Chains A and B, each alone.
Chain A
């Protein structure tokens, strides 16, 4: 799983030329993944100011406004991909726009759990 973090407002204020650079970077990333593994799913996410967080406090579900971690960088999207090893995931992640912080997390299977 590749989580992409960005600084809010960056995209909205970007010029058309800059946006084209972002698209090109994502295309380069996708080409790399297709050549070395496969893409499973992906999505850009709406801003963290639209996020809602659920937490169970004292047995009751409480709903609060905002993301679960408040920080300068916010998760802005994800790619669920399959690549042979961390080195190829790093090579792929390096192709994404340089303004992003990119977090690579392995997905695991939970023993005994079967999805409905």
Chain B
């Protein structure tokens, strides 16, 4: 019984947190109270459900309990003659539209979209927006958000508090913007989710080397947006990209806790379900019409990931097609990181000498990656002395322990330079 109650609660929190938050915000417009009230309701459920058994409608139970908490606080404030700032909503417009909308389900979905757009408003700092969206839309704990972004829990709490204060004070509305602004806003949502996703794959240390489980929460955020706005290309393309990158999560870290490079990964450990879904998403008709540069960049990156995902072995990878996709990507996003990735692809497609030519002139200040790639290509080309020197350059600027250990190992494995 206890286990069932716990599982029911965990499930309802995971699936319904955002909807419950958005309903409470729409009703009471109190950004300062809603999160705590819902948290209290979950705590009450954790205490009561094991003995009483989970209610028939667990989400409704949580909503009713959270409503009571909000009302208790509001009543206490009115006795003390305190007046709290309310969230700005498009409630008046909604009231007019109420009669027209037959299905009350639409209203709920609209509230969830309002919540997502409010949390990811471009007037909020991107890290704060990411943290707020994970917390309010998905119910991810501040502890887990802190782990994801490799910062302390008080830092996350402070970011969320500051973001909430700005929303209420600056009047960031709990509203769906005009149709001409909506696509742009959904692109900001996509960028916010991708920021959280890539944070999960930024190397940390120890057991937190990769926080792929938390990166998965960013995928959930994009799923929410795709479900709400299936006709928008950027979220659909981003979902495909994330699913492909995420499909390799089990193969990316070895038993000894070290990063495993793509070519050395056990491809049987790639998640087929994620790859299959991504490949299907990439054929979605919304991606076939002209799209924004951001959506196009997601599509091209997803196609590159798809080339890897569909190659049965590293040797069978179609590097010629990958170079072609990188050429497209460079036209959309001319960044040194993409030029570096293209140089690697060129080396695989046409040999280390071509790769070294493609590498020429690429500079990424503070990063060891250009030097590390140069070292590897020089080794393959047969210039061992130059490869050793390039590893020295890479090791000197590498700031991540795990990656530095990997570079030292590669350098040590170089064959001895035969005396002249």
B169 with A106: CB separation less than 8 A? yes
8 Å CB contact of A84 from B88, B123, B170: B88
Q: Is the CB of A87 within 8 A of B177?
A: yes
Q: How far is the CA of A81 from the CA of B181 in the complex (A)?
A: 22
A45 within 8 A of B: no
Contact with B along A90-113 (1 / 0, CB 8 A): 110000000000001010100000
How long is the Cα–Cα vector from A106 to B88 in the complex, in angstroms?
Answer: 13
CB of B175 within 8 Å of the partner chain: yes
B171 near A: Cβ within 8 Å? yes
In the complex, chain A residues whose CB is within 8 Å of the CB of B121: 86
Cα A87 to Cα B174 with chains together (Å): 10
A86–B171 Cα gap in the complex (Å)? 5
Interface mask (A71-97 → B, CB under 8 Å = 1, otherwise 0) = 000000000000111110111000000
CA distance A91 to B175 in the complex (A): 15
A104 touches B173 (CB 8 A): no
On whether the beta carbons of A85 and B169 are closer than 8 Å, the reply is no
CA distance A29 to B403 in the complex (A): 53
The residue in B123, B171, B172 that gathers the most chain A C-beta atoms within 10 A of its C-beta is: B171
- Interface SS of A by simple majority: mixed
The residues of A that contact B181 with a CB separation of less than 8 Å are 87, 91
Contacts of A91 in B (CB 8 A): 181
Nearest B residue (CB) for A108: B169
**Closest chain B residue to A105 by CB distance?**
B170
Chain B 78-102, CB-CB to A under 8 Å as 1, else 0, gives: 0000000000100000000000000
Closest approach, in angstroms, between the C-beta of B51 and any C-beta of chain A?
A: 46
The answer to whether A87 and B169 touch across the interface, beta carbons within 8 angstroms, is no
Q: Which secondary structure dominates where chain B touches chain A?
A: loop
CA distance A83 to B121 in the complex (A): 18
Compute how far the CA of A104 lies from the CA of B166 in the bound complex, rounded to whole angstroms: 12
Residues on B with C-beta less than 8 A from A86 are 88, 121, 123, 170-173
**Chain B proximity of A39: nearest CB distance (Å):** 17
Whether the Cβ atoms of B123 and A85 lie closer than 8 Å is no
Option from B88, B170, B175 in Cβ contact (under 8 Å) with A104: B170
Chain B residues lying within 8 Å of A83, measured Cβ to Cβ, are 171
User: How many Å from the CB of B162 to the closest CB on chain A?
Assistant: 14
Residue of A with least CB distance to B168? A106
Chain A residue with the shortest CB-CB distance to B121: A86
Contact B173 A87 (CB under 8 A): yes
Those of B116-167 within 8 Å (CB) of chain A: 121, 123
**Can you name the residue of chain A whose Cβ is closest to the Cβ of B82?**
A111
Determine whether the beta carbon of A106 is less than 8 Å from that of B177. Answer: no
- Which residues of chain B are within 8 angstroms of A85 by Cβ–Cβ distance? 88, 171-173, 175
Nearest Cβ on chain A to B124's Cβ, whole angstroms: 10
Q: Which residues of the partner chain B approach A108 to less than 8 Å between Cβ atoms?
A: 169
Complex Cα spacing A51 to B216, Å: 54
Contact with A along B13-54 (1 / 0, CB 8 A): 000000000000000000000000000000000000000000
User: Are A87 and B170 neighbours in the complex by a CB distance under 8 Å?
Assistant: no
29 intermolecular pairs with C-beta atoms under 8 Å apart: A83-B171, A84-B88, A84-B171, A84-B173, A85-B88, A85-B171, A85-B172, A85-B173, A85-B175, A86-B88, A86-B121, A86-B123, A86-B170, A86-B171, A86-B172, A86-B173, A87-B172, A87-B173, A87-B175, A87-B177, A87-B181, A89-B171, A90-B123, A91-B181, A104-B170, A106-B169, A106-B170, A106-B171, A108-B169
New A-B pairs, 6, CB < 8 Å, besides A104-B170, A106-B170: A85-B173, A86-B88, A86-B123, A86-B172, A87-B172, A87-B181
List residues of chain A with CB under 8 Å of any chain B CB.
83-87, 89-91, 104, 106, 108
- Residues of B at the A interface (CB closer than 8 Å) are 88, 121, 123, 169-173, 175, 177, 181
9 interchain residue pairs of minimum CB distance = A85-B173, A85-B88, A85-B171, A86-B171, A86-B172, A86-B170, A106-B170, A106-B169, A87-B173
